[in-house]
Structures are given as C-alpha cells and as structure tokens.
Amino acid sequence: MHHVIIGGGPAATNAVETIRQFDGGRSVVTLVCDEPAHSRMALPYWLAGRIPEAQAHTADAAWFARLQVTTRFGVRVVAVDPPRKAVALSDGRTLDFDNLLIATGSSPVRPPVPGVDLPGVEPLWSLAQTGRVLRYAAAVEAAGRTPRVALVGAGFIGCIVLNAMYERKWQLAVVEREAHLLPRMLDATAADHAQRWLARCDIPIHCGKTVRQIRQQADGTKAIDLSDGQSLTADVVILATGIRPNVELVHGSGIATDEAILVNDRMQTSFPHVYAAGDVAQGPVLFGTAHAVHPIQPTAVDHGRVAGANMAGHEVRYPGSLTMNVVDVCGLQCVSFGRWDGAATEATTIDNRAGFIYRRLLWRDDRISGAILAGRAGDLGMLTDVGMVKGLMQTQTRLGPWKQYLRDNPFDIRRAYIGSGAAAKLAGTTLLGRPSEARRFRFGAADPEAAVSAAHAVFFAKA
C-alpha cells in the first residue's frame, strides 16, 4: 500500500502520524511539498521574536526517518490523475499511489492595487515572506528609526500579525475595507470594543476605506493612498486581504470542487481513494448540513487525523468542524465560535463598554450554537471560559436548567460546564475511536513541560 501526501502543513503531518499509529509502518508513505514541514500559525511567533525560525518547523529529517516516510521537498505536484492513480511532479517524475491525500492549504490573495508587488509589500504567509519582513524592519532599525508598518486588512489573520508587530513596538496603522475590524469574526459591538482598545494602544484604524495605490517614495518609504484622499507613510506594508484554497491542482482531474475540494465525513473526495484535508477541503460542519471551508489549524489537524485513519483502513467518520477564532488584539482577547452571527437566534448579551467586556451567547433551544467573547485575559477567566464554551458547543450538550442559570450568570461558565456533564462527556469523546496520542515530533527532542494536575479531576466528576 502506497500513500502519497501532498503538503507539509498540520493536515499532512497529522495524517502521517495517524497512518503510522494505525499501521505500524506496514505501508509506504511519500510526502511531497515545495516548502519544509511547518505551521503557518507559528510564523507570527517568529515575527514577534518569541521563537527562532527553526521552531516554526513541525518535522525534521529524523522524524521522517523514524516514521519511515520518504520526502520530496522542493518539488511540487503539477497534475493529479485519479483514474490512473498517479501524480506528476515538477521534476518530471511520476508517482503511483493507492491512496492520495491533497493537503495543499491556501494562498494569500493580493488585491488588484498598483504597487502591491513593490519590495517591502508582503503578505505574511510563508517562511520566506516572514524572513523578508524581519530583514526590512531590521534595516530600518539599523538606521536608528522605529519601523512604520501599514497593515492592509484587519481580519483574523491580519489581527494575529498586528499583535506580533505590536510586541515588536513598531509604529502601526491599519486599513480595513469593511465597516469594522474582524468583520467575519465579530459583530459590530464586539468590534467597537477592539477598535477602542487599539486607540488606547495608539494604533489608528481606517475602516470603511480601501487602498487606491501604493507608491515608492524617494526616501525608500511607501505611500499608501486611501479612497478618502488620505495618504499613509510606511516602511513596510503587510497585505492581509484574504486567502483562497489551492484547488488549481485538481482542475480537470474529475475531482469535485465548490469553494474548495468537496469531501465527505471520511475526508474522501469524489474518488474514494483520493482524500483532501485542511484549508483545501470543504467538509462537514457542526450545527448545519451544508459543507464549508474552515481554514483554521484545529480543523486541519482533525481533517488530517480522520483522513490518515481511513487511509490506513479504519472506518472513522468526522462529526464536523466548528467555526472558531481566538485572537489577541494587542492585549484584548477576542473570540467567536459557531453561528455567532445568527441574527434570528435567541441571545444572552453582556456589554460593558467601560470595562472592555462583551459576551454574547446564542441559543438553539437549550444548546449554545454560537458565542462571541471579548475582554482582557482575566475577564475571560484566563481563557478558561473560552475553552468551556467551546466544549459545550462541540459536545452539543443540552443545558436544561443550566440555560437559565447562564442567562442569569453569564460569567459563571464553569458551574454550568461541570453541572451539565459537558466536561465528562468531552473527556470520553475521541475523534478516532481510541485515546489520542501526542505528536511525536518535539523541537530539539525536548520533553513537554506541562503536567496534568489532580485539580483537573473536578471537571470530570459526574453531575
């Protein structure tokens, strides 16, 4: 049995480990990727100076050797032929397969604006792009100035990058074409908290405006001309104007696509021996029957594990992904889960403008179907509340009388989480029908430092 995996992100690496957990090395696995295996979600930590570049990598040669995986890095798959069970590579070679996993991820969308190809104008999506941004900023700092950076696009990815640059203490400005920042993650009220918070951080936000052009100036800086006639000056411009699934590879192959590659609850495409996972897959979701693309790392990990188990011959079905976004907006935690924008849904809302606190729980009968949370870390229970709300939604727990308790006490998520039995239910839930295993790769072969405390036992007690 020969498994070919295209990609080097979390969907691909988790599929590799899952295949080996189930087959013990009995199959042949080949991984093809034009970049080293790494996590894009680690790039902002490198940008912020929290980690070196090497720690963004999620596998190394020793890891692949231990799992008996043949790698073809620096090579791309240029064509997929599902009926013949073969893929063509950019180096002219062909690989035959029994099972194929397409985990090609997504790519940044550059807006159709003059000047987006100038040096110093970058999406922050790859190792190479992140390295260039750091070098541009270092050159400005070497000249004795604080780097000035304009961020174009204030969605989820943009705000993650914004936070990293804020940690660097760079001088920042944000342009967002929609009426408020994080438009696909927060409602207008929650976004207002975030925008007022950024004003306290001396970060100007230009919402409802577009970039007309980016001009190179004589002193090496960039002028960003806006639709309202204003012009911003920056040393570096970061483009965070959306992403799109990398589906070009399967065009003409017969593999069914919509927004991305359509997959069933086993991660199979329209060809049972071809799977897709991660940003490139349009799959089942919780709280709905339509398939959707959820381009977030937790979904990519789950997709990869489910695909790997099924490729290894086991019957595993995916219950569906949950829309979830958690981002630190320069010290203000902003979170949304599920159907957070369900306008007709019953809702419980707390809005404290002075304290930068916002909570909105949306209900379907006695289940939470969506949530928005905003506040400082301490106001979100040091983020514990975030995980508990997510757990209530993932288990689709009926809260019964605890619904009214939460309506009366929206800051006491913990009591309802435990009392409803959601913690015990979640602890007994497995994605693959067996206890999960920690990833085997560790940077520098280091052991995990965290240990489970006995204090956690209360969360698994029966109601």
pLDDT digits (tens, 9 = 90+) for 71-122: 999 999 999 999 999 999 999 999 999 999 999 999 999 999 999 999 999 9
Intrachain domains 2-106+244-311 and 331-460 with the same fold: no
Q: Which CATH number fits domain 121-241: 1.10.3720.10, 3.50.50.60, 3.40.50.1100, 3.40.50.10330?
A: 3.50.50.60
Query: How many residues in total does the chain contain?
Result: 463
* pLDDT at residue 452 in the model: 64
Q: Where does the pLDDT of residue 463 fall: very low under 50, low under 70, confident under 90, or very high at 90 and above?
A: very low
As a whole number, mean pLDDT of residues 353-365 equals: 95
DSSP-derived secondary structure for 369-429: EEEEEEE-GGGGTTTHHHHHHHHHHHTT---THHHHHHHH-TT-HHHHHHHTTHHHHHHT-
Say if CB 361 and CB 348 are below 8 A apart: yes
Q: Which CATH number fits domain 331-460: 3.30.465.10, 3.30.390.30, 3.50.30.30, 3.90.1010.10?
A: 3.30.390.30
Q: How far is CA 186 from CA 248, 336, 342, in A?
A: 31, 7, 12
Domain boundaries of the chain, sorted by first residue: 2-106+244-311, 121-241, 331-460
pTM of this prediction exceeds 0.95: no
* pLDDT at residue 46 in the model: 97
Q: How far is CA 75 from CA 6, 8, 11, 78, 91, in A?
A: 10, 12, 18, 9, 7
Closest to 204 in 3D by CA, of 171, 163, 237, 155: 171
For residue 94, with 0-12 CB atoms within 10 Å meaning exposed, 13-18 middle and 19 or more buried, which class applies?
A: exposed
Beta strands per DSSP E along 292-345 = 324-329, 332-338
Percent of the chain that is helix, strand, coil (3-state, to 5): 30, 25, 40
As a whole number, mean pLDDT of residues 421-426 equals: 91
Average pLDDT score, the chain: 94
Among the residue ranges 132-141, 216-225, 282-291, the one predicted with the least confidence is: 282-291
The single residue listed with the structure tokens 């961020």 is 151
Does the pLDDT value for residue 384 go beyond 90? no
Say if CB 349 and CB 380 are below 8 A apart: no
Query: d(Cα 405, Cα 137) in Å, to the nearest integer?
Result: 51
pLDDT digits (tens, 9 = 90+) for 180-217: 999 999 999 999 999 999 999 999 999 999 999 999 99
* pLDDT at residue 461 in the model: 59
Closest to 264 in 3D by CA, of 280, 234, 284: 284
Q: Buried b vs exposed e over 132-160: b needs ≥16 C-beta within 10 Å? A: bbbebbeebeeeeeebbbbbbbbbbbbbb
Does the pLDDT value for residue 287 go beyond 90? no
CA Rg value for the chain: 23
At residue 218, the 3 state secondary structure works out as coil
* pLDDT at residue 158 in the model: 97
Q: Which residues make Cβ contacts (< 8 Å) with residue 427, sequence separation at least 6?
A: 459, 460
Does the pLDDT value for residue 375 go beyond 70? yes
At residue 459, the 3 state secondary structure works out as helix
Q: What percent of the chain has pLDDT over 70?
A: 96
As a whole number, mean pLDDT of residues 349-355 equals: 95
Q: Phi-psi category of 216—alpha, beta or left, where left has phi over 0 and alpha has psi -120 to 50?
A: beta
Rounded to 10 deg, the angle between the 297-311 and 10-23 helix axes is: 30
CATH of domain 2-106+244-311: 3.50.50.60
Cα angle for residues 316, 321, 323 (degrees, 5° grid): 175
Query: d(Cα 338, Cα 425) in Å, to the nearest integer?
Result: 19
Does the pLDDT value for residue 448 go beyond 80? no
